[in-house]
């Protein structure tokens, strides 16, 4: 039989481990190179430290229940990233505007185009933003009735029920030379009460760095590669933020595949002042990118402060390696910028 003192000690070790993981993800994530697999890896596995508290609860429930309850909250919310939608806007306080975002996984999007169009028909979004919108998918979207379509050379597509007033693509060559993505577009569409600025992004992935972590013996050598990847993702977010928000001030929606979870220091530095629709109005973890064993929320719909979110949710599978993200936004009823 395990001594009670050892059981209690293991319980406190598990609790301290959860707090350490919380700190690594929420405070130094994407600041220190070894935190990258914690941000993008299987967080349910990290939450396994809570299991060390179970023997303590079994032997001394009265003393263990409070630390165990706090530890479980830490697992579900700060570590797993679950939200409860407590900051949702009340419906009827402004003009409803539904946004649909999807990374279509290139050619896979064309192969499953019927699933995408069926979902669009059912959900009737006002704005559709698609990353990895390959040539075949761009052509197929021309058959979708009720939308004005604009396509970018960097495989981004925008479908809008209102007229697209402006369209400007940032040259991605500097990021392609560094093996990044750099798909950044700024547009202006006619919204219900005036012009609405739209940012479309597909930013650099950490995949090349993360793949090296599967060989545990190689992890100590991954510092230079991972730091270079962090620098690339930092540069692309900085460029995207500056490019999209240049020009006149107006209500803005930025959506796409950021390849950044909300806990990332890069995300907080360049996008943290915007409202994340799922963080404010979604329920659950909102994972949009799934592997065979875990998921992560790296697709986002962000807005400036005058735009609220009444509801946000992840849609059903449409054949991509990402799930669609849908947000029911609430736009200001009054025109807030000069008509173009």
Q: What is the CATH number of the domain that holds 212?
A: 3.60.10.10
Buried b (16+ CB within 10 A) or exposed e, 299-308: bbbbbbeebb
Same domain (yes/no): 30, 120? no
Whether the CB-CB separation of 84 and 280 falls below 8 Å is answered with no
Please check whether residue 279 lies inside any domain of the structure. Answer: yes
59 and 123 both lie in a single domain = no
Do 73 and 196 lie in a common domain?
A: no
What lies within 8 Å, CB to CB, of 126 at 6+ separation is 97, 98, 99, 160, 161, 162
User: Is 23 domain-assigned?
Assistant: yes
Q: How many percent of the chain have pLDDT more than 70? A: 97
Please list the residues that pair with 329 across neighbouring strands: 97, 309
Mark whether 63 and 181 lie in a shared domain: no
Judgement on whether residues 134 and 262 belong to the same structural domain of the protein? yes
Sign of the alpha-carbon dihedral angle for 11, 14, 20, 25: negative
Tell me which of 50, 79, 108 is where a domain ends: 79
Residues constituting the chain: 340
Q: Is residue 90 part of a domain?
A: no
* Domain boundary, last residue among 24, 50, 79: 79
Whether 131 and 72 map to the same domain: the answer is no
So what's the pLDDT on residue 339? 42
pLDDT at 5 over 80: yes
Q: Answer yes or no: is 338 within a domain.
A: no
Whether 88 is covered by a domain: the verdict is: no
d(CA 226, CA 261): 16
pLDDT for 65-99, tens place per residue? 999 999 999 999 999 999 999 999 987 778 999 99
Tell me, yes or no, whether 226 and 274 share the same domain. yes
- Looking at residue 1, its pLDDT comes to 58
Residue 172 inside a domain? The answer is yes
Q: Is the pTM of this model over 0.95?
A: no
Asked if residue 229 lies in contact with residue 37, where contact means CB atoms within 8 angstroms, the answer is no
Asked whether residue 336 is domain-assigned, the answer is: no
Residues 193 and 324 grouped into a single domain: yes
Tell me, yes or no, whether 73 and 106 share the same domain.
no
d(CA 52, CA 22): 16
* 313 shares a domain with 273: yes
Q: Where are the alpha helices (DSSP H) in the chain?
A: 4-26, 36-40, 43-46, 54-59, 61-74, 107-111, 113-123, 135-141, 173-177, 207-210, 223-244, 265-271, 277-281
Number of domains in the chain: 2
Q: Pick from 52, 79, 106: which residue ends a domain?
A: 79
252 within a domain of the structure (yes/no) = yes
Are 37 and 165 part of one and the same domain? no
Average the pLDDT over each of 46-55, 214-223, 242-251 and give the range with the smallest value: 214-223
Judge whether residue 142 has pLDDT over 50: yes
Same domain for 58 and 139, yes or no, is no
Separation of alpha carbons 283 and 314, rounded Å:
10
Distances (CA, A) of 71 to 11, 18, 53, 82: 10, 7, 9, 14
Q: What does DSSP say about strands 156-160 and 164-169: parallel, antiparallel, or unpaired?
A: unpaired
DSSP-based three-state secondary structure for 128 = strand
Q: Which domain holds residue 49?
A: 4-79
Q: Give the number of other Cβ atoms within 10 Å of residue 203's Cβ.
A: 25
pLDDT digits (tens, 9 = 90+) for 181-203: 999 999 999 999 899 999 999 99
């Amino acid at each position: 039989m395990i001594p009670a003192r050892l059981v209690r000690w293991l319980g406190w070790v598990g609790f301290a481990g959860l707090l350490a993981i919380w700190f690594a993800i929420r405070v130094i994530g994407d600041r220190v190179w070894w935190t990258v697999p914690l941000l993008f890896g299987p967080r349910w596995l990290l939450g396994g430290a809570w299991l060390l508290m179970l023997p303590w609860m079994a032997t001394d429930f009265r003393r263990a229940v409070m630390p165990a309850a706090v530890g479980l909250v830490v697992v579900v919310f700060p570590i797993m990233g679950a939200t409860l939608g407590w900051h949702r806007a009340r419906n009827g306080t402004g003009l409803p505007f539904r946004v649909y975002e999807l990374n279509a996984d290139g050619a896979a999007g064309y192969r499953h185009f019927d699933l995408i169009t069926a979902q669009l028909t059912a959900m009737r979004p006002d704005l559709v933003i698609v990353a990895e919108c390959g040539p075949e998918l761009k052509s197929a979207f021309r058959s979708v009735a009720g939308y004005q379509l604009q396509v970018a050379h960097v495989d981004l597509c925008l479908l809008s029920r209102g007229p697209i007033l402006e369209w400007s693509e940032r040259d991605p060559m500097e990021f392609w030379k560094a093996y990044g993505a750099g798909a950044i577009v700024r547009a202006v569409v006619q919204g219900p009460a005036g012009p609405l600025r739209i940012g479309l992004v597909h930013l650099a992935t950490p995949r090349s760095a993360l793949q090296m972590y599967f060989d545990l013996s190689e992890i100590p050598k991954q510092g230079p590669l991972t730091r270079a990847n962090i620098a690339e993702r930092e540069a692309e977010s900085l460029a995207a933020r500056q490019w999209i928000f240049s020009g006149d001030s107006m209500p803005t929606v930025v959506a796409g595949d950021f390849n950044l979870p909300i806990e990332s220091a890069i995300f907080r530095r360049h996008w943290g002042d915007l409202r994340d629709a799922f963080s404010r109005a979604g329920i659950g973890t909102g994972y949009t990118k799934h592997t065979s064993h875990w998921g992560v929320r790296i697709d986002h719909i962000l807005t400036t402060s005058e735009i609220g979110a009444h509801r946000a949710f992840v849609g059903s599978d449409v054949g991509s390696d990402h799930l669609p993200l849908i947000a029911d936004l609430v736009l200001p009823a009054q025109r807030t910028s000069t008509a173009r």
